[in-house]
A and B are shown apart, each in its own frame.
Chain A
Amino acid sequence: MPTTLSRAADGTSRRRRGPRTWLAALPLLAFTGLCFGIPLGAIAFGAVTRTDPATGATQLTGEHLARSLQGPYLGSLLGSVQLSALTALIGSVLGVLIAQAVVTSRSGALRSAALTASGVLANFGGVPLAFAFIATVGISGVVTQLADLTSLGWSLYSFTGLAVVYLYFLIPLMVLVIAPALEGLRPQWREAAQNSGATGWQFWRHVGLPVLAPSLLGGFVLLFGTAFAAHATAAALVGGSVPLVTLKIADALSGNVLTGQENVALALGLDMILIAGLVMAVYLPLQRRSARWLR
């Protein structure tokens, strides 16, 4: 069992705050400012200004943000949130169950195999993944033909199909991030609960889940963000027929059809950042509250 974790938890020293800590954080702050701050500023600037192509004059306008929250653009934002929330929820639940099974199994080989496989699968995405699915369960895919999936109403090129493809990399991602937290649940706690006459359900209800809650939520947030930002897989699979915000940004930013939509794309990008920020805002306070149990 994870003795290193237990030892770390024994230490009671509190973090010291002072000028020296700030100095150490300086490179990180500089990096964050440079690599996130400047692009974020550029996105925000582009989203609220308009440059006249003839004169080159720039003026403030709320037009792009307003357009990004209307009609098909709003539809694509809602579509993305729906798909991401659903796949992140299913992915979290299945990922936790698999990770718990792997962590509590006595086979070390199974454990390392499952974690390695998760590491690979969680990073397998984009167009190659889309083609792998097309070849297996697309309309003329091998499995579709053998099992006659079409007559069962299966279609890869739909909301459901896309959700299944996303789960392919979201579940392994959840296994990866939740396995260390599950290992941190010390067996002594369970033994103590049993000695006090608690049932299995009571242990999970009052000890296990509260301790795991921040990690679970953190995993959910990560899965949500991954699904929310995914682009290439969806572009290759469903084109424009499942409205997603990343596809809309690509249409506006680098298409052959619509001209002069770049600022709406930036406004959509800003909307995405705001949504991601909102999701994080729910997660951070909770995480701080009970993270200490797993240190």
Chain B
Amino acid sequence: MLSSSARRGAAVLLSAAVLTTLSACGAAPDPKSGAAGDAKSKVQPGAAVSVADFGSMEALVAAAQKEGQLNVIALPPDWANYGEIIKAFEAKYKIKVNSENPDASSSDEIAAVKSRKGQKRAPDVMDLGIAFARSGAAENLFAPYKVTAWDKIPAGQKDADGRWYNDYGGYVSIGCDAAKIPACPQTFADLLKPEYKGKVALNGNPTKSGSAFGGVYAAALASKGSFADIQPGIDFFGQLKKSGNFIPVESTPATVEKGETPISIDWDYLNAGYAEQFKGKGVDWKVAVPADGVYAQFYSQAINKEAPNPAAARLWMEFLYSADGQNLWLKGHARPVLLPVMTQDGTVDKDAVTKLPQVQGTPAFPASEELDKAKATLAEKWDKALS
């Protein structure tokens, strides 16, 4: 995601300093937190590991409404339809959602959880990159909770203890403005053609942005690399830079609309969103999932172990993993984790499915160690390849 700070002065130094001071000051625990349990429920909301612990769904809703609010962080309204999801949750349960810092990154979320331990403004729930879900679980920051649909989530997409589970994901795709580009590239191999000189961008810096990292990983798969070997992907972008095709400007809705990034490698749900957003504004945005580099990635949900609104946090999870919640993500062109199950039992929004970009082949996911190795390689080699 984007992050911005003031240019002048020692802005970066200061923000680093402020962050550390915050985490130093904010560690004082609030003794009242979690003490006010609902007398009717079997356990306190903060200790509930499933709906059964509340007694019934109605009891969960009642406990959540008693709290009356939910703190969320890092949910941009124009990302995977989060704007509508938040509104739908508020309307259905009459619970106020406090959305903080929509453009925050996964590490900002983890920092907020750590620095506001025991405070009322701590985030209740998080939407994290998979590496941060794993490291946060290892640091014991998340509460285990199994939603009603738990059994339907594939085993490879969840933590066995229920501390995190995948929510939605998408494929690395190539977005392209057909109004400016006569023949849109369909594969990574196409991107090397001289006709795309000065036109190919990524959504950010791959050492920072998850989607840009996915782009490099997909390029590796397209260039005889593997999950264990991301180097060919780095070489691919090095070649793209050398030929002048690659432009390092980060693609955003603004650069897409302006035509500065006429070809942008990004998640398919974001590219598909641009296609809708800029229809009729002189931008004819086409989305292709490259057949030579199929790479999909899911984000994960987790509940803060010390959530100030523990019942509302659990209700939010139940909502996200209900057919309603899953279909709302689908409406935002993301692929919810229960999509295969819902396609079988017929609860899926079929219109929304037809609008998803076409994909050839099935996605595979790198193992945890492969992902770590790829990131280490990228952090080490990216600068050199691009400069």
Q: Chain A: residues with CB nearer than 8 A to chain B?
A: 38-40, 42-43, 45-46, 53-54, 71-72, 75-76, 123, 125-127, 129, 131, 134-135, 138-141, 150, 157, 169, 225-226, 229-233, 235-243, 246-247, 249-251, 253-260, 262, 265-266, 269, 272-273, 276
Contact = CB atoms under 8 A, between A and B. Distances in A.
A138 B249 contact: yes
Contacts of B210: 256-257
Contacts of A266: 16, 20
Given A232-B7, A256-B105, A239 B204 contact: yes
Contact of A53 (B1, B138, B199): B138
Given A229-B8, A235-B205, A250-B12, 4 more contacts: A238-B248, A250-B5, A253-B15, A257-B375
Interface stretch (B47-55, B149-157, B251-259, B333-341): B251-259
Contacts of B129: 256-257
Interface residues on B, range: 35 or more
Contacts of A259: 107, 131-132, 135
Given A76-B383, A140-B260, A229-B12, A260 B7 contact: no
B4 A272 contact: no
Contacts of A262: 107
B81 interface: no
A243 to B, nearest CB: 5
A37 to B, nearest CB: 10
B68 to A, nearest CB: 31
Contact of A249 (B16, B105, B132, B260): B16
Question: In the complex, which of the residues B1, B9, B204, B208 has the most CB atoms of chain A within 10 Å of its own CB atom?
Answer: B208
B170 to A, nearest CB: 14
Contacts of B80: none
B108 interface: yes
Contacts of B208: 240, 250-251, 254-258
A15 to B, nearest CB: 29
Given A53-B139, A231-B12, A129 B258 contact: no
Contacts of B379: 72, 258
A72 B260 contact: no
B219 interface: no
Interface string B9-25: 11111111111110010
Given A157-B249, A257-B375, A226 B386 contact: no
B360 interface: no
12 contacts: A39-B14, A72-B379, A126-B7, A140-B260, A231-B12, A240-B248, A243-B387, A253-B16, A255-B106, A256-B106, A257-B131, A259-B135
A65 to B, nearest CB: 15
A246 B3 CA distance: 12
B179 to A, nearest CB: 12
